[in-house]
């Protein structure tokens, strides 16, 4: 028997105080609920959901090192800039179409991995994989710590 997909993150998550890696991928979650109490969380995996906004991340702003949000409906990166320890942001196959959204990553000094494949800013670029491509230059201009 198949387990029905999770549609909502609820307050029960706040009891997972020792949790280091929370995986809620491949569900029908539309909204990130407050993550208060998850003071040890380092990896939050929310890929393959229906998330549009990166809200309510302040509860893990001091600890989160990896955010996996690929295959969602995210257009804007607002909310990510408070994740001061973020090293990895997997945000492929979303709806990010404006390079200026990457300006929100400028202050994330520890960021070393960024995945944007499958977003309009990537798919509409000419030869985005080519070294020296306009796409790569636009990303590095906004997120120089990736160099």
pLDDT per position as a tens digit, 37-60: 999 999 999 999 999 999 999 999
CB atoms closer than 10 angstroms to residue 82: 17
pLDDT per position as a tens digit, 127-146: 999 988 999 999 999 999 99
Statement: residue 3 has pLDDT above 90: no
Statement: residue 72 has pLDDT above 80: yes
| Helix/strand/coil (H/E/C) assignment for every residue in the chain | CCCCCCCCCCHHHHHCCCCCEEECCCCCCCCCCCCCCCCCCCEEECCCCCCCCCCCCHHHCCCCCEEECCCCCCCCCCCHHHCCCCCEEECCCCCCCCHHHHHHHCCCCCCCEEECCCCHHHHCCCCCCCCCCHHHHHHHHHCHHHC
Q: Is the pTM of this model over 0.75?
A: yes
Q: What band does 1 get if pLDDT is binned at 50, 70 and 90?
A: low
């Amino acid at each position: 028997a198949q387990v029905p997909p999770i549609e909502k993150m609820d307050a029960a998550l706040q009891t997972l105080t020792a949790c280091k890696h929370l995986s809620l991928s491949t569900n029908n979650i539309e909204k990130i609920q407050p993550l208060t109490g998850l003071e040890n969380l380092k990896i939050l995996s929310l890929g393959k959901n229906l998330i549009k906004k990166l809200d309510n991340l302040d509860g893990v702003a001091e600890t989160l090192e990896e955010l996996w949000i690929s295959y969602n409906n995210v257009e804007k990166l607002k909310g990510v800039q408070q994740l001061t320890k973020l090293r990895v942001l997997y945000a492929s196959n979303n709806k990010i179409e404006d390079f200026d959204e990457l300006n929100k990553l400028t202050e994330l000094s520890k960021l070393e991995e960024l995945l944007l494949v499958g977003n309009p800013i990537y798919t509409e670029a000419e030869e985005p994989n080519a070294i020296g491509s306009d796409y790569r230059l636009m990303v590095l201009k906004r997120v120089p710590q990736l160099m």
